[in-house]
Amino acid sequence: MPTRQMDVTTWYLEQSAPGELRPARVPETRLDIVRAEIPSPELSRFLYTAVGGDWYWTDRLPWSYDQWQNWLERPGVETWVAYLQGTPAGYVELDPQPDGQVEITSFGLLRAFTGQGLGGHLLTVGAARAWDLATRWADRKPTERVWLHTCSNDGPHALRNYQARGFRVFDVRSSTEIRDHTPPGPWPGAR
């Protein structure tokens, strides 16, 4: 498969208080956002590839079933799935870290659900769940900071959506990466 050199900009964004979250409008179409309470490597890998396949999300593709299970079973890790008429439309994954920090490690919509005004609402709910994560985990310190990163390989509206929800940039890094000519798509390895 042909490869190419790509210049990549990565933005690191944060909120330091729940009041910094600026909610998006609630979509006219009912979007159910539900926590997947049972760790499921199959579900999480499906969401990861379905959402990230178009945006070079490849870091977790080589993970074994056990690696996915170990990641998901860590106390405080949460996956929130958005359903539109019973169909998975996107997700938010939260990773609790020391000192009251929560990272939004994955966020996005499946391609068929972009451009419908759903992403801002899903991010609003995901960030709110990051802020109240300690209410669902007995030994968890209250959240003091929610952060995430996005890069120039992500969806074209990602950075703008994060900033519209009240996340502010605290760091920017540039790098050069060697990538496959095209992202792997939602069915990596399929022909």
Domains in the chain: boundaries: 3-180
Q: What is the pLDDT of residue 59?
A: 86
Provide the CATH number for the domain formed by 3-180 in this structure: 3.40.630.30
Q: Using the CB atoms, write b or e for 18-54: b if 16+ within 10 Å.
A: beebeebeeeeeebebeebeebebebbeebbbbbbbb
Q: What is the pLDDT of residue 37?
A: 97
Q: What is the pLDDT of residue 180?
A: 66
- The series of mean pLDDT values per 10 residues for the chain, 191 residues long, is 78 97 94 97 95 85 94 96 97 95 96 93 98 94 96 85 97 81 67 50
Q: What is the pLDDT of residue 141?
A: 93
Length reported for the chain: 191
Q: What is the pLDDT of residue 162?
A: 96
Q: What is the pLDDT of residue 24?
A: 96
Q: What is the pLDDT of residue 156?
A: 82
Structure tokens at 152: 């120039």
Give the C-alpha separation, 125 to 23, whole Å.
Answer: 8
